[in-house]
């Protein structure tokens, strides 16, 4: 095919334009690459810029000395100490049987009035109820009859004694009068003892009136009597207990009998409130229950405020011997953060959260196996404030 001159010129122009475009593209790529590489380098450095230093800042709570004092944060130096580890047993608060009485009337009758109410505080000798009893009327009548016979026998004895001394009557009459007086005295004493056995007085405004009284200071914890109710002589009509002293009872398996002994110190606590009380084991059963196959152990607790109520479930920690440990911290210094035991170590300008591995513990102290060394200073009180502040700081950082 023949190409004209005009066509040759057009083709040459197209080739030249293509060469110029290729050169421009190559030059642009070479000039832009360093800038793109610098930008990419900056993008890579940004996470590093927030990395270790920022991650470390996330675990530091910055507080001034004034803020620390306001929050009540206590600081102590870590060092060696001792722990008194213990074993926990589930127990229950019960009435102190030595200070609990089941009040029975000891004679049959009908309740004229009931003055004590359930839950009422009563004093020793306070009247709980009044009972009308025919048997009491008979006993008081017996005493009165014996007293009249005693008076007559005493008068006869004095008369016979005087006549015998004056040689008017025989000695035999005098001796008979003396014997009769002695029998009358015995009858009076016997009638009085019968009344004393049931707790009744020898005199009253009514012969059949019997007052049921509180045996000691305490609280009416059970009441089984109403006015007008007929009762038997052995019926338990009231239960009075001195709740200022209670028992904490717990079951001891045979394998634990070696560590639970009379005289050991214990700490009794309840999940119902934060109060704890110390005591001493006062009794460990010598026999195992036929069904439970456990022995019963008991701690007598002082309960002046009535906080330890019978029926309350408790945990009894039987304390062992004290054991020395190289690094120990206060129990309240430990906080759980991300399922890890953590303490707040004193650093410049605040506190740093440090994960630790703990060991043995008691109610007051915890052994630290890893994460701290003797001489470190940590927050030991109100550390929940630091945990809260750390959570806030992390949340703001994530936002």
What CATH number is given to the structural domain containing 258?
2.40.30.170
Domain endpoint, select from 192, 212, 240 = 240
Do residues 242 and 96 touch, judged by C-beta distance below 8 A? Answer: yes
Same structural domain, 286 and 224: no
Spacing of C-alpha 345 from chain mean position: 32
Based on the fold, state whether residues 217 and 196 are members of the same structural domain: yes
- Please tell me the distance from the alpha carbon of residue 138 to that of residue 286, in angstroms, as a whole number: 48
Q: Are residues 382 and 344 in the same domain?
A: yes
In the numeric block, which tokens belong to residue 110?
Answer: 């009908």
The candidate with the shortest Cα–Cα distance to 364, out of 286, 261, 299, 278, is 278
For residue 42, what pLDDT is reported?
43
DSSP lists the bridge partners of residue 230 as 110
Indicate whether 46 belongs to any domain: no
Co-location of 158 and 250 in the same domain: no
Residues 220 and 138 in one domain: yes
Q: Residue 156 is part of a domain; what is its CATH number? A: 2.40.50.100
Name the β-bridge partners of 350.
62, 347
Residue 296 lies in a domain: yes
- The answer on 213 and 287 residing in a single domain is no
Burial (CB count <10 Å: 0-12, 13-18, 19+), residue 24: exposed
46, with CB counted inside 10 A (0-12, 13-18, 19+), is: exposed
**What's the length of the chain?**
399
Name residue, tokens 């022995």.
295
Angle between helices 134-165 and 171-197 (to 10 degrees): 160
Examine the domain organization and report whether 122 and 205 are in the same domain: yes
Of the three residues 208, 240, 272, the one that is the final residue of a domain is 240
Q: Each residue of 330-339: b (16+ CB within 10 Å) or e?
A: bebbbbebee
pLDDT in tens, the chain (399 residues): 455 555 554 555 554 555 545 555 444 544 444 444 444 444 443 333 333 443 445 578 787 777 777 778 888 888 888 777 788 899 999 999 999 999 999 889 999 999 999 999 999 999 999 999 888 888 888 888 998 999 999 999 898 888 888 888 888 888 999 999 999 999 999 998 888 888 888 776 788 888 899 999 999 999 999 999 999 988 999 999 999 999 999 999 998 888 888 988 898 999 888 888 889 999 998 888 888 889 999 999 998 888 899 999 999 988 877 788 888 888 888 888 888 888 888 888 788 888 888 888 777 888 888 888 888 888 887 777 888 877 776 666 555
3-state SS, residue 130? strand
Residues 226, 248: one domain?
no
Q: Are 242 and 218 in contact (CB under 8 A)?
A: yes
- What pLDDT, on the 0 to 100 scale, is given for residue 390? 77
In a domain? residue 379: yes
Q: What confidence score (pLDDT) does residue 378 get?
A: 85
Instruction: List the 218-223 sheet strands across, edge first.
Output: 100-103, 238-241, 218-223, 121-122
Q: Using CA atoms, how far apart are residues 351 and 63, in angstroms rounded to an integer?
A: 8
In a domain, 304, yes or no: yes
The tokens for 129 are 């109820």
Task: Please check whether residue 29 lies inside any domain of the structure.
Answer: no
For residues 75 and 92, membership in a common domain is answered with: no
d(CA 59, CA 347): 11
Residue 190 φ then ψ, to 5°: -65, -45
CA gap 342, 335 in Å, rounded: 5
How is residue 74 written in tokens? 């206590």
Q: Do 308 and 207 share a structural domain?
A: no
The answer to whether 283 touches 297, Cβ cutoff 8 Å, is yes
Rg of the chain, C-alpha, whole Å = 47
Rounded CA separation 215/101 (Å): 7
Report the number of distinct structural domains present in the chain. 3
Asked whether residue 178 is assigned to any structural domain, the reply reads: yes
Are 200 and 274 members of one domain? no
Three-state DSSP at 286 gives: coil
- Identify any residues that bridge with 222 across adjacent strands, giving them in sequence order: 239
* pLDDT of 11: 57
- Provide the domain limits for residue 332: 59-82+325-398
Residue 136 lies in a domain: yes
Return the pLDDT at 124: 94
Q: Which of 190, 224, 240 is the last residue of a domain?
A: 240
Query: Is 14 within the bounds of a domain?
Result: no
pLDDT score recorded for residue 32: 43
For residues 117 and 219, state if they share a domain.
yes
Q: Which CATH number belongs to the domain containing residue 70 in this structure?
A: 2.40.420.20
């Amino acid at each position: 095919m023949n190409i004209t001159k005009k066509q040759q010129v057009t083709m040459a122009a197209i080739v030249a334009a293509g060469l110029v475009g290729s050169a421009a593209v190559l030059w642009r790529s070479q000039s832009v690459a360093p800038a793109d590489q610098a930008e990419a380098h900056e993008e890579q450095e940004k996470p590093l810029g927030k990395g270790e230093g920022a991650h470390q800042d996330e675990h530091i709570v910055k507080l001034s000395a004034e803020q620390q004092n306001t929050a009540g944060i206590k600081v102590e130096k870590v060092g060696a100490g001792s722990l008194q580890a213990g074993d926990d047993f589930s127990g229950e608060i019960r009435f102190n049987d030595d200070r609990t009485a089941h009040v029975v009337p000891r004679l049959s009758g009908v309740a004229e009035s009931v003055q004590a109410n359930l839950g009422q505080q009563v004093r020793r000798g306070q009247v709980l109820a009044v009972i009308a009893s025919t048997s009491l009327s008979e006993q008081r009548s017996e005493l009165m009859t014996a007293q009249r016979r005693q008076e007559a026998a005493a008068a006869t004895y004095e008369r016979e004694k005087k006549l015998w001394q004056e040689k008017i009557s025989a000695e035999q009459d005098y001796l008979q009068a003396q014997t009769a007086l002695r029998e009358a005295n015995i009858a009076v004493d016997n009638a009085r003892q019968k009344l004393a056995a049931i707790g009744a007085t020898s005199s009253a405004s009514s012969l059949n009136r019997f007052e049921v009284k509180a045996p000691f200071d305490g609280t009416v914890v059970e009441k089984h009597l109403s006015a007008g109710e007929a009762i038997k002589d052995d019926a338990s009509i009231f239960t009075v207990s001195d709740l200022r002293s209670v028992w904490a009872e717990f079951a001891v398996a045979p394998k634990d009998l070696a560590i639970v002994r009379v005289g050991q110190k214990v700490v009794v606590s309840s999940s119902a409130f934060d109060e704890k009380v110390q005591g001493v084991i006062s009794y460990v059963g010598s026999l195992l229950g036929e069904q439970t196959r456990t022995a019963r152990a008991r701690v007598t607790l002082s309960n002046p405020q009535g906080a330890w109520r019978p029926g309350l479930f408790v945990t009894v920690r039987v304390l062992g011997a004290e054991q020395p440990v190289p690094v120990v911290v206060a129990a309240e210094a430990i906080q759980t953060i991300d399922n890890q035991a953590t303490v707040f170590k004193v650093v410049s300008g605040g506190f740093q959260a440090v994960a630790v591995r703990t060991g043995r513990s008691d109610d007051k102290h915890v052994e630290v196996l890893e994460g701290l060394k003797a001489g470190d200073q940590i927050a030991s009180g109100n550390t929940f404030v630091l945990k809260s502040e750390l959570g806030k700081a992390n949340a703001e950082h994530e936002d």
